[in-house]
Amino acid sequence: MKKTISLKNYLQFKAVYNKRKAKSDKYITLFIRKNGLDINRLDISVSKKVGNSVERHRLTRLIRESYRLHEDEFNSGLDIVVVGKAGANPKKDEKDYPIKCRDIERSLLKLAGYHKILV
């Protein structure tokens, strides 16, 4: 099993954000940038707009697990930043509550397809 490498500092994040190559949907925004390495580096950012600490960490775990399950399908040599959106935390009275891993998986793969970074 591969270990996912993460972005380590602010300059790496800034380089990905400044590239402005982003696609978005209801649940997440996906930023990508070529890194010139043979590996992908992933990082996840979830703001307080999503909810409290428990809800933010749950979304982070769902995103990380979705990426882990499909890591072999992504092209190599990319910096990937996934930003969780407030839409990923539906209210308790909505039919989507709580969000499922398959929803995040579907969203991640759809956005990766838009970026054309799937093998």
* Residue 34 dihedral angles phi and psi, to the nearest 5°: -70, 140
Which structural domain, as residue segments, surrounds residue 52?
A: 31-115
Contacts of 70 (CB under 8 A, 6+ apart): 105, 108, 109
Total tally of structural domains belonging to the chain: 1
The alpha carbon of 90 is separated from its chain's Cα centroid by a whole number of angstroms, namely 18
Per-residue pLDDT, 20: 83
Classified as helix, coil or strand, 35 is coil
Q: Are 62 and 68 in contact (CB under 8 A)?
A: no
Per-residue pLDDT, 90: 77
Give the domain CATH number at 72: 3.30.230.10
Our CA dihedral for 101, 52, 24, 39, rounded to 10 degrees, sits at -70
**10 in any annotated domain:** no
**Model pTM score:** 0.90
Per-residue pLDDT, 99: 85
**24 in any annotated domain:** no
Rounded average pLDDT per 10-residue block, the chain, 119 residues: 78 89 93 91 92 91 94 92 88 75 94 93
